[in-house]
Amino acid sequence: MEELYKIIEEKIKASGFKGEIDGREFYYEVSKEADSKENGKYVFMVKKTDTVYYEGCMDIMDKDFDLHYIDIHDGEELYHVDFDS
């Protein structure tokens, strides 16, 4: 799992996002969104602070999820991270 967390951090940093990102924390926040949903495709939002929030799209399957992308909104800035590429 540590390798996955590192990949998450690298992809988010490659988007130009300059804020702090913890791959483990990010993964668990997205997992929490998936845990409460039935199978299907979902658009979701996770609020981090008053100025930072994530919007993303994922497919949820029986015991897993596939995160397609995440848009990180940081004040007026927008960072797009494509996890399918």
Sequence ranges of the domains in the chain: 2-82
Asked whether residue 85 carries a pLDDT value surpassing 90, the answer given is no
Q: What is the pLDDT of residues 54-79, one digit of tens each?
A: 999 999 998 899 999 999 999 999 99
As beta bridge partners, residue 42 has 58
What is the reported pLDDT for 63?
Answer: 85
Asked whether residue 33 carries a pLDDT value surpassing 90, the answer given is no
What is the reported pLDDT for 36?
Answer: 78
* 81 CB-contact burial (10 Å; exposed 0-12 / middle 13-18 / buried 19+): buried
As beta bridge partners, residue 81 has 70
pLDDT band at 80 (very low <50, low <70, confident <90, very high): very high
